[in-house]
Amino acid sequence: MNKKIITELFKEVFRTRTVEEEIAKRYKDGHMRCPTHLSIGQEAVPAALSLIMRKNDFAVSSHRAHAHYLAKGGSLKRMIAEIYGKETGCSKGKGGSMHLIDLASNFMGSTAIVGNTIPIGVGLGLSSIIKNKKQFSFIFFGDGAVEEGVFYESVNFAIVKKLPVIFICENNFYSVYSPLEVRQPKKRKIHKMVSGLGIRSFYNESDDPYVLYKFLEKKIDFNNFNSGPYFFEFKNYRWREHCGPNYDNDIGYRKKNEFEYWIKKDPLIKIKRRLNFLSKKKIEFLEKKIKKEITDAFSYAESSKFPNPKEAYKGVYAK
């Protein structure tokens, strides 16, 4: 059982990492013409959740959503096509990297404004109670969103109404290039502050997807639909620039040793180490298969057509 989970976690981390690296590699070609926020270095939490979230559960996310979308089961080729602005994209080219959706897997949407989907995820939790379908709603956001008023409104509402909502805060220390110390008091622990609102609040600083998986599995009680919301804080680190394909340690907003410390905590290395029950050949086989899927997704995106320019004027209103 553990072997299966570890293998799945490895595949998820490897897939996300390779997708993002491929985007970074090809970004300079100028065909992906939209702001793109990569998840490289931040794969552990979404990978762990990919095995926690059930198909029927809902998920929403923010501007840095590729890993969450994939973790929920969003179509890879439609995501890449969306970043390429093609008609086959998950949002038909109208949203780009920051507006992903995959209704087949209940990934209900990611948006570009910090904190914006937090209340929307709470609304999905409320709808689940109304319809009594026992679906949980997972909300992904970062440390910056915790500074938005709507975050507190959302947590409060979810507590008052005892909603099946799971708040996932991935604290990567930076809001664009502004570090936590200019944004929040030095000694604050986000999960402690949030627990003061009256929500079950948990924290884990591991970078090991397997550790996070076991942790989440223990904490979330899917059998108790009416027990109210959960809040989780995790720590992770964005390796590349806030937005775009490059490394940006040269511009001086973070220290080299900080970066090197986090690179050593690489979630991919952590999960790969646990794969000792698989032969090198078997691992290579898995990697090859994933790489092929990714190459195919890029070919799909590149060979897809742009939408007809007339489409720009359509779809403002639902009929």
Partner 1 sequence: MQSHQNFLIPKRHIREFMQNNEISYSSSINEALKYSMKKDKNMICYGLGVTDPKEIFSTTKDLVKIFGSKRVFDVPTSENVLTGISIGAALNNVRSVVSHQRLDFFLLAMDQLVNSAAKWHYMFGSKASVPITIRLIIGRGWGQGPTHSQNLQSWFNHIPGLKVVMPTFANDARDALISSIFDPNPVLFLEHRWLHENKEKKIKIGKIKKIKSKICSKGKDITIVSTSYLTIEALRAAKFLKKNYNISAEIIDLISIKPLDLNTILKSVKKTKNLIVADTGFSTGSIASDIIYEVMNSNKKSIVKSFPKKIAMPDVPEPTSYGLTKNFYVGANKITDEVLKILNIKKNKELILKEPIPHDVPGNWFKGPF
Residue 88, CA distances (Å) to 13, 45, 78, 299 in order: 25, 29, 6, 12
Q: What residues line the site for partner 1 (CB under 8 A)?
A: 58, 60, 89-95, 99, 101, 103, 108-109, 111-113, 116-131, 137, 149-150, 153-154, 156-157, 160, 314-319
What residues contact residue 228 under an 8 Å CB cut-off, 6+ apart?
158, 159, 162, 163, 199, 200
Q: Decide whether 36 or 116 has the Cβ nearer to partner 1.
A: 116
Q: How far is Cα 75 from Cα 297, in angstroms, rounded to an integer?
A: 9
What's the min distance (Å) between Cβ of 80 and partner 1?
15
What's the min distance (Å) between Cβ of 125 and partner 1?
7
Q: How far is Cα 226 from Cα 159, in angstroms, rounded to an integer?
A: 11
What's the min distance (Å) between Cβ of 164 and partner 1?
12
Distance between first and last Cα of the chain: 48
Residue (of 292, 276, 291) closest to 7 by Cα position: 276
What's the min distance (Å) between Cβ of 208 and partner 1?
32
Q: Decide whether 156 or 249 has the Cβ nearer to partner 1.
A: 156
What's the min distance (Å) between Cβ of 18 and partner 1?
26
What DSSP string describes 137-150?
Answer: EEEEEETTGGGSHH
Q: How far is Cα 47 from Cα 44, in angstroms, rounded to an integer?
A: 5
Q: Decide whether 4 or 313 has the Cβ nearer to partner 1.
A: 313
Q: Decide whether 7 or 91 has the Cβ nearer to partner 1.
A: 91
Q: Decide whether 94 or 200 has the Cβ nearer to partner 1.
A: 94
